[in-house]
Amino acid sequence: MPLSPVKRAFKFRFHPTDAQAVELARTFGCVRKVYNLALAARTEAWARQERVNYNATSAMLTAWKKTEELAFLNDVSSVPLQQTLRHLQSAFTHFFGKRAKYPRFKSRKRSRKSAEYTTSGFRFRDGRLTLAKMTEPLDIVWSRPLPKGAEPSTVTVSQDAAGRWFVSMLCEDPSVQPLPATDSAVGIDVGLDHLLTLSTGEKIANPRHERRDRAALARAQRCLARKAPGNGANRAKARRKVAKIHARIADRRRDGLHKLTTRLVRENQTLVIEDLTVRTMVKNRSLARAISDAAWSEFRSMLEYKASWYGREVIAVDRFFPSSKLCSHCGKLAQSMPLHVRTWTCEGCGTIHDRDVNAAKNLKAAGLAVSVCGAGVRPQRRTPGGQPTTKQKTLRREP
């Protein structure tokens, strides 16, 4: 059954003229100002046990523009200002739905510089994009073509900490269609020695992108630390140098994960992963840097949205499932399995296991059990006689 076209964001670098850079910087500042004013108004209303919605903040924006103090808001396009109010409304919706924390004020130095334009705020003709309040189109570096006949519905302009300018266009991509169904399934165990270990026995090396630039990053950070605090040009130059190294690391990491997740989704119908709490794991001071560099959360996010695009299934097994301690051959559960133990021998059947491959096989078996019959994937509980229950036996079958 054909699905409706998938909406994808196509992100490109662009090089603004001096006038465009000034206009965009002014827009970023106005967007941040309106967001903070609206958040303050809603917070005060919240203290009075009143609710202020998007329509009320939109009326406030009209009133603010008429004041002498905030008359500069009229100098930029009204579209990004309205969009930031919608983003604030979404933030409060997630807060009331207990899916996020209370919204925070945007900082001039730390917050992301961005502005979102809807169709009334830009013109896209013959591959040339012109934003509101601008006379010249943006000089975009077209690193890849947009889908044939695509018309952006939303355009987001941003500038990262390294000073690079980006434009993201949200378009419908009819080329994204479900792939032909297959019978293949794979269990995926993430790690640090190897980024991924598959139930097929394949191990994918951890590129350790941050380690490759660690020395250069340390030098740049020491140089930044020696600069006097404030808004001096030398400190800003040193800060951009640090940001450029971080950007280079993040770009390499993202590129590698995109290629890896695309390959896994194309080759397998069912992908089984472990539901890890990365936010808790990075509190380990000894492993925090390595875990952050591996980007397990970003890997899972990419895997899930690409699976939804191409008609694949991603199953997350409960984090308490003893995938490493459970023998994938006979199902016997080992008493303990310290992290330094990479190979072990099952006391029940004598099979010698590679720790990571065995975990990937168990994840695959548990995921298939959930997919087929809805069996649980919690740690095994034994009856008083020491035998596993019937539901637990479904986890012991071989992949």
What is the C-alpha separation between 160 and 193, in angstroms, rounded? 31
Res 51: pLDDT: 84
What is the C-alpha separation between 235 and 246, in angstroms, rounded? 17
Residues near 302 by beta carbon (within 8 Å), at least 6 away in sequence: 257, 258, 261
Q: Which of 274, 347, 354, 398 is catalytic?
A: 274
377 within 8 A of 187, measured Cβ to Cβ? no
Confidence at 373, pLDDT banded by 50, 70, 90 = low
Concerning whether 126 is annotated as a catalytic residue, the answer is: no
Average pLDDT over residues 209-232: 93
Pairing of strands 185-190, 165-173: unpaired
Res 154: pLDDT: 96
What is the C-alpha separation between 355 and 175, in angstroms, rounded? 40
More confident position, 161 or 338: 161
Concerning whether 356 is annotated as a catalytic residue, the answer is: yes
Mean pLDDT, the chain, as a whole number?
88
Average pLDDT over residues 11-40: 96
Average pLDDT over residues 369-393: 47
Point out the least confidently predicted range of 57-66, 128-137, 320-329, 390-399: 390-399
More confident position, 251 or 374: 251
Res 394: pLDDT: 34
Q: Which of 23, 116, 293, 356 is catalytic?
A: 356
Beta bridge partners of 185: 270
Residue 399 has pLDDT above 50, yes or no: no
The encoded tokens of residue 33 equal 């100002």
Residue 127 has pLDDT above 50, yes or no: yes
Q: 3-state class of 162 per DSSP?
A: coil
Res 349: pLDDT: 84
Q: Which of 116, 189, 210, 293 is catalytic?
A: 189
